[in-house]
C-alpha cells in the first residue's frame, strides 16, 4: 500500500515536470528555470525539442513505476525491476544537477521536486 502512495507521488510530480516541459516546447518563456538558466525567456528550438523528448522519457518512467507497483500490468516485472535502476540513477543525477545549477530559480523549484522523486524511486525499489 505504501508503494502505491509513493508511486502516486512519483507520478504526480512527474506530471508536473511533463507539463512544464510541454509548455517550454510551446514557447513559454521559462528558460530561467531550466538548463542552468542559460537561455532566459523562450528556449531556442533545439532545446525546446529536447524538452519534448525529455517529457516522453519522464512519462515512460512514470508508466514503469506504476507497473512496478502493480497499479498497471502491461510491462513485465523483470523489465520494471531493471528499469527502476535506470530511473533511480536518472533521478539521483537530476537531483544533484539541480542542486549545483547556477540558476537560483531552477535550483529553488526543481531541486526539492527532484529529490522527492528520487527518494520515492529508491523507496519503491527497496520496499
* Model confidence pLDDT, tens digit, residues 54-113: 999 999 999 999 999 999 999 999 999 999 999 999 999 999 999 999 999 999 999 999
What is the rounded distance in angstroms from the CA atom of residue 95 to the CA atom of residue 125?
Answer: 18
Average pLDDT over the chain, rounded to an integer: 97
Q: Find out whether 74 and 64 touch, Cβ atoms under 8 Å.
A: no
- The pLDDT of residue 11 is 98
pTM for the whole structure: 0.96
Provide the pLDDT for residue 46.
Answer: 98
Domain segments of the chain as ranges: 2-126
DSSP letter string, 20-79: HHHHHHTT-S-GGGSGGGSS-SSPPHHHHHHHHHHHHHHHHHHHHHHHHTTSS-SS-HHH
Amino acid at each position: 500500500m505504501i508503494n502505491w502512495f509513493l508511486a502516486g507521488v512519483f507520478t504526480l510530480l512527474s506530471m508536473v515536470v511533463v507539463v512544464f516541459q510541454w509548455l517550454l516546447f510551446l514557447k513559454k518563456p521559462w528558460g530561467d528555470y531550466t538548463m542552468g538558466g542559460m537561455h532566459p525567456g523562450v528556449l531556442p528550438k533545439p532545446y525546446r525539442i529536447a524538452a519534448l523528448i525529455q517529457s516522453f522519457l519522464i512519462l515512460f518512467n512514470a508508466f514503469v513505476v506504476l507497473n512496478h507497483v502493480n497499479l498497471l500490468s502491461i510491462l513485465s516485472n523483470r523489465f520494471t525491476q531493471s528499469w527502476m535502476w535506470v530511473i533511480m540513477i536518472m533521478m539521483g543525477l537530476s537531483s544533484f544537477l539541480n542542486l549545483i545549477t547556477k540558476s537560483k530559480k531552477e535550483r529553488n523549484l526543481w531541486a526539492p521536486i527532484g529529490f522527492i522523486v528520487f527518494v520515492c524511486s529508491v523507496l519503491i525499489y527497496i520496499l
